[in-house]
Structure 1
Amino acid sequence: MLDFTGRINAVTAEEESMSNKSEFPDNPACPWVNSGEDAHLYLAVLLQHVPVLASVVDSSGEVLFASRFHTLLAGVADNLTNIHQEADLYPAFVQERLASLKQKAMENGSEQYWELSAKHKDGSLHHYQMRRIVMNADPNSGSKAVAYTIGVDVTENKLAESALRDHKSQINYVTFHDPLTGLANRSLFYDRMHKSISRAKRSESSLAVMLFDLDRFKNINDSLGHDAGDAFLKQVAKNMQDELRDTDTVSRLGGDEFVVALENISDILDIESIARKLLECLAQPVIVQGHEISCTASIGISVFPNNGDSIDQLLKNADTAMYRAKAAGKNRFQFYQSAMSDTAVNYLLLENDLRRAIDQNELCLYYQPQIDLSSGRIIGLEALVRWQHKDRGMISPIHFIPLAEETGLIEPLGDWVLEHACERFQAWLEQGVNLGKIAVNLSTRQFRQDKFETSVHNILQRTGLSPEYLELEITESSAMENAATTIDMLKCLSQMGLSLAIDDFGTGYSSLAYLQRFPIQKLKIDRSFIHDIDKDTQESAIAKSIIDLAHNMSLEVIAEGVERPAQSSWLNERGCDQVQGFYYSRPLSEKQLFDLINDSERVIRDEQGIRLLL
C-alpha cells in the first residue's frame, strides 16, 4: 500500500485482471493498460495526490491501497502506516454502513453508491459522494476478490445547493407575503381562493369572503406617524390570525384593507358569529409607542356561490357591502345583497364621468423625476395621470384605474396618457429642455390590445417625438402572462428604437429563461422591497439580489418609493443605478416641474443636464 514496489503489486494484478475484462480493450485513450509497471506506478502516485478518498481492500477487509486523504478524517490515524483494515479508513460511526454495504454487495450486485458526511480533523464538516465496486475473485488468474472505493468531496456543491434553496425559499416567501404583516398578499390570496372555490364546487359547499377596512385609520398615520400606523397594522394582523382557524386565509390587500376567506361554511349564523368576534377583537385597544389606540372596522361579506362564482366577483360584491357598512355608521358588518343598487348607480355615474373626462381632456399629467444615483442628475420622468373631477375633486388613480380596467376604458385612457406625455416632452425639447426620457406605464389590457405597436408608432409620428426619448414600462406579471407573445411585442417596440423596462419587479413570478429573452433595458424594483430596505434583512437581501441580477444581465436597475436618505445611501452603496421617490421629488404638475428646474437653489443646470441639490 505504501511501498509502490511491494504492496502496490497486489493491486497491479487485480487491475490487470479488470483491464482484461474491459469493454474497450483496444481503446487508444487508455494506452497504459498494456504498457508495463511504470503506468501502475504513475496511477498510484496520481491517486495519492488527487483529492479523493480512494481505497482498495480484499475480501478479508485488508487494505491493499489507500490515498492519504483518508488521514484527514477525524477518528482516522494520522499516518497510513497505521491503517491495515478497511475499518481503519473511516470514523467509527461508519462501520455499520460498511457492514451493510458488504452484505448488500453479496445480495444485490457489485456496484454501490452512497453518501458520507464526516468531520475532518480541523473540525470542518465534509460531504462525499462514494462509489464502491466489488470485483469477484478469478480462479483462472488466481486473483482475489477486491473492493474499489472512490469518494469525491462534494461539500461546496452541497453548500451551494443549500444556499440556493434558502434563497429561493426567501424569495418565494417575500413574493407571496405582505412585507409588513407577514400575511398572505394578493397573489397568494388569489392562489388559495382558486383552490378553495374548486373544492367548494366539488363538495357543493359554501365559502365566505370578508373584506375589512379599518375605520378612520388615516387619523393614526396623521397624528402619530407612519411608523405607529405600521405597528398598529402588524398588531391587527396578529389579532385576526389568533381569532381564526388555521384553515382560514387572512390576507392584506394593501393599506388598511384586509380580506378573510372562510371555507366549509354551512350556516349564515356561523359567518355572523365570526364577523362579530372579529369586530370585538379589532375594537380592543392596542398600545403603540406608549399610546393606547382603538380603531374599529367595517366588514363587507359575500358568499360563494350565491354572490358570485369567481374571486373578482366575490371581492367586488364584498367591497360593495363594505361601503354600505361604512355608510351605515361603521364598526359593523354587512352581507352583500343584489338590491344594493345605489352603489351600482354611483359606480355607473363615475364610469360615465371618466368616459367624459377622457373625451373632453379633463385629465392631467404629473411627472416624477428619475435620478441617476452616481451624479444626482435627472435622467427621466415618469408620467402619472391625475383626474380633477369637477364635483368630487381630485380622484386617486387607485380608484379610477381599476374602474377603467374593468370597463374597458383603460385602452383610451392609456392612449391619452401616452400621447399627451409624448406631446409635452417634445414641446419641452423644442424649448431646449432635455430631461432624458419620458416613462409611461402600460396596463396589461393596453399592452395586449391588437396592433398596440402600430398605436405607439402613430403617436410618435403625430407628436414628432423621437423614439429614443420614450420608455415604456410593463409590470412583471403582465410580461409573464403570455411570455411568448410578450417577446414578440417587445421586439416590435424595441425595433422602433424606444426603451423598455419591467415595472414592479419582484412581485410576480418571472422565468429567468424568458426574462433574458426580453429585449429590455431596465428592471424597476417594486416599492414594497424598498420601504424597510435599510432595516429589514429580508427586504435588503431581495433588493440586492435584483440589483445583481439586473447587472449580470447587463440591465440598468431603478428603485421606486425612495423616501429617506438612508434608503438612498443603501441603494447607492449596493450599486443601484437610478431612483425615484418622495425623498427626491413628489409627482409634479408641469408648472411645478418647471419651477423646480428653474430654481437655482434647488438644482444646478449645465451642459450635462440638471442636477438636484438635496
Structure 2
Amino acid sequence: MSRPLHVLHAEDSDDDAELILHALTDNGLEVIPRRVETEAAYIAGLDPAPDLILADYSMPRFSAERALHLLQRQGLDMPFIVISGHIGADAAVALMKAGAHDYLLKHDLARLYPAVQRELREAVERARRRRAEMALKDSDEKLRLIMEHVNDLIMVVDAQGRRLFASRSYQALFADPAAIVGTDSFGEVHPDDKERVRRVFCETVATGIGQRCEYRLALGEHGVRYIESQGSATRDECGEVSKIIVVSRDVTERKQSEARIQYLAQSDGLTGLPNRTLLTERIGQMIAQGDRHGDSLALLFIDLDYFKTINDSLGHLVGDKLLKQVAARLCQCMRKSDFVARLGGDEFLMALGGMKHSQDVALIAQKIVASISQSYNVVDHVLDTQCSVGISIYPNDGRDVQTLMRNADMAMYHAKEKGRNQYQFFSEEMGARAAERLMLGNAMQLALEREEFELHYQPCIELATGRITGVEALIRWRHPELGLLSPARFIPLAEETGLILQIGDWVLRTGCAQMRDWQTKGIENVCLAVNLSARQFRQAELPQRIAAALTDAGLGTHALELEITESMAMQDPERARELLLELQSMGIGLSIDDFGTGYSSLSYLKRFPLRSLKIDRSFVDGIPDEANDVAITRATIALAHSLGLNVIAEGVETRAQQVFLTEAGCERAQGYLFSKPVCAADAEKLLRQKYLGVSRTAAQRRGALE
C-alpha cells in the first residue's frame, strides 16, 4: 500500500517488538506502530482503526484471545495475526477457529512479511465486496450476483457444459488462458470429483435451481486448486435452461489452513506422529477391517525405560531429540499397513493389522525391543535406553479400543516388573492382578490410619558363636479381608504411588520405638536393621527424619543400621557418598543389601562408608552344590574383607549352607534355619534366648564366658 501502514501491536517485550518491527520495515514497508500492553490501551488503539493487528499469544496482563474477542465485539474487520515464542497445537487450533487470520512463531519471523501482504490483500478484497453488496443490493439478482463477484472467477457455460465466456481472473488459472473458451468445462475437474460435479450441473440444468459445489481443478504445472462454485441458471424464450452463470472462488489457501488445523488437532507436535485423538479413530477402522477379513489386531503399548532419568539429568532438549529418534525407529519397525502414535511423554502405541498368529506379533515386538535398545547420538551425548512392550490382541483381549489399550498398558507394566527391555502378552491373570493393585492402592492409605501395618523381626546371628547380634525389621500388612500380606504384595505399589515415604517413616519410627522398649527390658547389644526405599534415599531431609525418629524413641544411633541396595547408591554415586558420610558421622551403621544383583562400581564401593555387605539369597540358595554360586559367594566374602567390611548372608535355610559360610569366613547370617520373621513378642523371646543355630550346651558354655 502507498501510504504508511498503521499497526496496532500487543506486545510486552521491547526486544521482541523491535525485532517484529524490523521484520516489516526491512522488507520495505513504511510502518507507524502503536504498541500496547494492556486491555485499555488496546481498546483505545482501535480508534481510529489500524490497518493491521499483531498480538503476542500470552502476556502477563493481556492475551491474543482477549484481543481477538474485543476486536470482534466492536464489529471491526482487519488482519489479526498472532505472534508467539511458543504456542501449542490446541491453542493454535482454537485461535484459528475463533477468527485469527494467521499465527507464527517469533523464531520464524521470515514468514511475517508474506503473511501481512497476503492478509492486507484479503482485507481489501473483503472491503470491496462489502461495498459492492451495499451499492447493488437493490439491483437485478443476476446482475448483482455477477457484480458482487467481479474479482472472483466467473464463467458462462451452455446446457452441455461448454464454456461461452470466462473472466480474466478465471482464465489466469490456466496455462493457455485464451484457449479455454469453447472447451468442456469438466475437462480440468479432478478425476475423483468429476462425476459429482457433473451430477450437480445436470441437476441445475434440469431444475433451474443453482447449487453450491466444492471440487478440485487439476491444472498441470499450476498444480491442484480447490474451487468453490455457485451456479445460477438463465432460461431462453421457451423457458428452458440455456446458460448457467458460474461464480467461483479459489479456496485453496482456506483448504490448506483447514488441513493444517486438522493436522495440529490429530498429530503430536514433537514427533509428527498421530496423537491419541487420531489413534482411536484409526484403531476403530482397523478393527472393522479385521472383522471383515477374519484377522486379528494387535496393540503394542511401548514405554521407554529410564527415560525420566535422561530427561532430568540432561534436560528436555536432549529428551525431546531422543523421543524424535525413537519415533523414527518405531516407524522403521512397522509395515505399511501398521500404525504408530505417540500417547504422550515417553509412551507410544503401535497397531498391527491383519495378524494371523501371535508368533508374528512376537517377531515385530522383538524387532522393536532390539531397535530401541541400540545407542543414540543426541547433542554430543551417546545415550542408551530400552523399552518395555505390552501386547493385547483383538478380539481375545477386548472388543473395543479402550479395553485393548488398557490391557496392553497392563502387559507393559508386567514387562517392567519382569526386568524391562522385553515384551509381554496380556493375560487374564494380569487383569486380576491389576484389579487387586487397584483395590490395594485404595486401601493402603486407610491401612496407615487404621494401624493395619505391623513389623516382624528376623534375627541376624553370628555364625561363629550363634549369638543374636540384631534383628531386621520387615513390614507386614494385616489386611481385614486378605489376611497377612507380605511386602512383595504392596511395597512396589507404594513406591509407585509415593505412599512409600509415609510407610518408610512408620517402619523407622515403629522399629526404633520397639528397640528402645527392648532396651528398657534389659535386652542390650543388639542392632536394628531397617531397609530404606529408593524414594526415601532420594529425600534431601533423610538425615533429619532419621535423627527425629531416634530422638523421639530415645534410641542411640549405635543401635540402628540402615540397608540400601546397589542400584539406589549408583543412581547418583557422588550424592550417595555425601549422604552416607553424613549418616556415618551420626553413628549409624550402613549396609549394602542384595549385593551382586545390581550394577556395581568397585571404585565407588570402596569410597562408601559401609559397615557390611549382605549376600543375596539367590547366591546362598545354590551353595554348597552350585559351583558358580560357590565361586561368587567366596569372591564376595574376600572382596568385603579386603575393604574392611563384614559379610551377612541372607536366606540361609540348611545346615550345609551354614557350615560352608562359616568356613568361608562369613561373619553373620539370617534365614529360616535360625528363625523366620516373627512378631515383636516372639522376637523378644528369641532375643532373651541370645543364641540360635547352635546346641543348647554350646550356647550355655558361651554365655558363661561372656
TM-score of the superposition, structure 1-length normalised? 0.48
Q: Which has the higher contact order (CA 8 A, sep 6+)?
A: 1
Whichever of the two has the greater Rg, that structure is 2
